[in-house]
């Protein structure tokens, strides 16, 4: 066992008994939403996973420990501390551990800790990717590199629509990451179901997702699998409205010189303000939708192991 890893008793019991477990990130708690919606949403997502037959494992770094499974009190702590918690990517782990500090895990670090714990499925909102203007800024999320090397299935609503979706897909192709559309051949774009870009394969059931991921693992192929699950139709935002808000937010970020790990929290907060909170409501619904699919897929994977 990794001496820095702390697995909750609930999660460890599920893993020991080949029960389905779904990892959840903590950046969405500390950096993705305001308090108290962040805590309410995190607990609601955990409950949704339980209702769909799996055990939730919210992942974070608390006091220098890699936590796979947070208590409600720890989730409350992360939510109240908010953006004072360091947004932790792969590069941050050694120093945070050595200093015994807190960290909110991104897609990257959630994948790392989930893999350490033996958790194979992870539900999130949207992954990071290639930012607009990356041909000059080189602003590319570490999430893409992690997907290329860490064996965890990531269930999301596509790449965040603040990104350059075409370049993000090209990068994933170069790294050999399968991009699956759940019930669709089109890449969903986080707040909206449509992007105009295609995915590698359409898969329509959790059982087939499980079979594809299991085959990848059995072949010893490096890296994870990206499952893009469109936001439910009733919560999808019109593309023209969200794109206008994104363009406005990106323009302001450029004017203020906001770069790197601060970009995504700034843009999401700005888009929420521009849309009068509609984007936050959509964000919550797409995370719940991904949690349901991830739980059913994790259950299907455990059945293959029996």
Catalytic residue among 25, 46, 76, 146: 25
Number of residues in the chain: 306
Active site annotation includes 25: yes
Active site annotation includes 208: no
Catalytic residue among 87, 160, 261, 270: 160
Query: What is the C-alpha to C-alpha distance for residues 188 and 192, in angstroms, rounded to an integer?
Result: 6
- Residues serving a catalytic function are 25, 160
């Amino acid at each position: 066992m990794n001496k820095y890893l702390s697995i909750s008793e609930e999660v460890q019991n599920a893993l020991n008994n080949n029960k389905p477990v779904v990892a959840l990130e903590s950046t969405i708690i500390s950096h993705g939403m305001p308090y108290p919606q962040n805590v309410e949403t995190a607990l609601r997502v955990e409950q949704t996973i339980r209702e769909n037959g799996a055990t939730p494992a919210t992942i974070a770094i608390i006091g220098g420990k890699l936590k796979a499974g947070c208590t409600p009190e720890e989730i409350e702590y992360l939510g109240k501390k908010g953006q004072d918690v360091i947004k932790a990517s792969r590069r941050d782990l050694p120093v945070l551990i050595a200093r015994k500090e807190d960290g909110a895990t991104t897609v990257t670090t959630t994948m790392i800790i989930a893999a350490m714990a033996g958790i194979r499925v992870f539900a999130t909102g949207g992954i990071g990717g290639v930012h607009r203007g990356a041909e000059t800024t080189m602003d590319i999320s570490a999430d893409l590199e992690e997907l290329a090397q860490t064996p965890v299935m990531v269930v999301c609503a596509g790449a965040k629509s603040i990104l350059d979706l075409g370049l993000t897909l090209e990068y994933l192709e170069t790294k050999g990451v399968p991009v699956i559309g759940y019930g669709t051949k089109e890449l969903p774009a986080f707040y909206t179901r449509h992007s105009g870009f295609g995915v590698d394969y359409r898969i329509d059931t959790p059982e087939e997702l499980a079979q594809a991921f299991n085959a990848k693992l059995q072949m010893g192929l490096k890296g994870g699998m990206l499952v893009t699950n469109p936001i439910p139709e009733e919560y999808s935002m019109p593309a023209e409205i969200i794109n206008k808000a994104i363009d406005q937010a990106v323009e302001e970020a450029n004017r203020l010189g906001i770069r790197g790990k601060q970009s995504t929290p700034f843009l999401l907060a700005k888009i929420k303000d521009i849309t009068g909170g509609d984007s936050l409501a959509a964000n919550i619904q797409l995370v719940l939708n991904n949690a349901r699919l991830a739980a059913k897929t994790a259950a299907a994977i455990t059945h293959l192991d029996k």
